[in-house]
Structures are given as C-alpha cells and as structure tokens.
Structure 1
C-alpha cells in the first residue's frame, strides 16, 4: 500500500516543518557539544575571614591544561555584589585543579560564586605559564 502524498496546499507546511526540525536538531547538537567541551568549574566552598574578606574555594577543569582567568563574586544577604575579583590561574599539568582565592568585600559576604572562567590568551602580560 503506497504512502499517500500530502495535498498540494499542505506541501508548504511539510517543507516548513522539515526545515524547522532540522534546524532544531542542529542547534541541540551544537549546544550539547559546546557544553561538554572547554573549561568548567565547580564551587567547593568559602571561608569568611572577617567582615571585609572571604576565601573562595573552587575547582577548575580544563582538558587543555592552559592558563585560565576566572572571575569570583561575593554576595550579601540581599544577593547584591559586595566583592569581585578576577584572577589569572597558571597552566597546570593536571586537568583538574583546586584553588583558594581571597576576595575583598565592602561588607560581610554570605555567599560566593565563580561567575566565569575562560582561557587566558598566552600573550597576556604578567601571566607566566607554569611548567
């Protein structure tokens, strides 16, 4: 039994649907690949040193083991930013590294987070890769 062909007035919708599904699959694959590669990080805790300083503990996972620049944020109880620090981390021979960094704050911080981590360009002055 042959499969019936769509009516001529519905052909346009079949073409549109096919293109939309193809684009949706392509975008989904692209997001999946980009999310699974590159640098990732994990907040592992904080220690409040005093009302103006907090230590942030975090792990950086970098399959390429290159230098990385991370931005850390300290938050007040109302979730406003009370401290921010961008830190350049040297290259490592390990894929996963743990870091403890102090962030100066304007008031007591109750939470911290790693806002972002990205590859540090190798020609950045003041950043020396570790051997």
Structure 2
C-alpha cells in the first residue's frame, strides 16, 4: 500500500501552508477594503441629503396649487426643491424649482404656489438637493 507521502512525492504535490495562508489574508484584506470603501461612499453621499415631508396641498383654482412641506437640509447649506402638480392620471401639469438660502434651523416649513396648465388634483415635492 502506498502512503500519502509517496503519492505526494510521485505527483509533485507538496504542502504549502504559507501560500494558502497568504491567499486568505489577501482575500480578507480585499474584503475589508471593499467594506470600508462602500461605507465611506454611503456616508459621504448622505452628508448632502435633503430630507423632506409633504404636509399638505390645496387646489386653489384651475391654474394654481398651493403646497406645504418641511425640509431638513444640512446645517447652513443652500438647497433647492423641485415641486410638481399632478392631474388625476398622475400627469405633470405644473412644475417649479425653488431655491432656498442656508439657515442654522434644522427643519424648516415652506408653503409654495405651483402654477399649472390644467386642473391639478395634487401637489408633491419631486426632490430636494443641496446646491
């Protein structure tokens, strides 16, 4: 009966624990670097986020919608919001981009008027961003 050592010698197999260990160390280092990189990207992107909550709307007439909302921009940052008015089939019938100056107040409340080209059924905040 042949032993494991004889088979390893015959077929040129040798134990290389150092290579195996180095491989797994490299895999762990690449995984750790990837996690750190993605974490940093997520954190850096969230610094400029502007949160918003719609608090109400009023269809004033066939050509006007009044929208109220709260925005939470980064402290002191100027920001802009895109506001839209939608009809009953969710088509955009009014659009307005409004820029706001920076302030130290964390959450601010706004009331804006959106002109429309037809009868709207709702007003919403499409998006907000830091400028």
Q: Common fold, TM-score beyond 0.5?
A: yes
Q: CA deviation at 1:33?
A: 5.6
Verify: 1:67 aligned to 2:78, yes or no.
yes
TM-score by length of 2: 0.66
Verify: 1:90 aligned to 2:101, yes or no.
yes
Verify: 1:113 aligned to 2:124, yes or no.
yes
Which residue is equivalent to 2:8?
A: none
String of CA shifts for 1:72-120, please: whole Å, max 9, x gaps.
0111111111000011112223111000000001112112221222223
Q: Which secondary structure does the structure 2 equivalent of 1:44 belong to?
A: strand
Q: Which secondary structure does the structure 2 equivalent of 1:27 belong to?
A: helix
Point out where structure 1 has 5 or more consecutive residues left out of the alignment.
Answer: 121-131
Q: Distance in 2 between matches of 1:71 and 1:37?
A: 16
Corresponding residue pairs, total: 114
Q: Which secondary structure does the structure 1 equivalent of 2:76 belong to?
A: coil
Which residue is equivalent to 1:41?
A: 52
- Rate the CA distance shift 1:21–1:108 in 2: closer, same or farther, 3 A: farther
Q: Which secondary structure does the structure 1 equivalent of 2:42 belong to?
A: helix
- Of the three residues 61, 67, 76, the one matched with 1:56 is 67
- Rate the CA distance shift 1:119–1:29 in 2: closer, same or farther, 3 A: closer
Q: Distance in 1 between matches of 2:87 and 2:32?
A: 44
- Larger gyration radius, structure 1 or structure 2: 2
TM-score by length of 1: 0.66
Greater per-residue helix proportion: 2
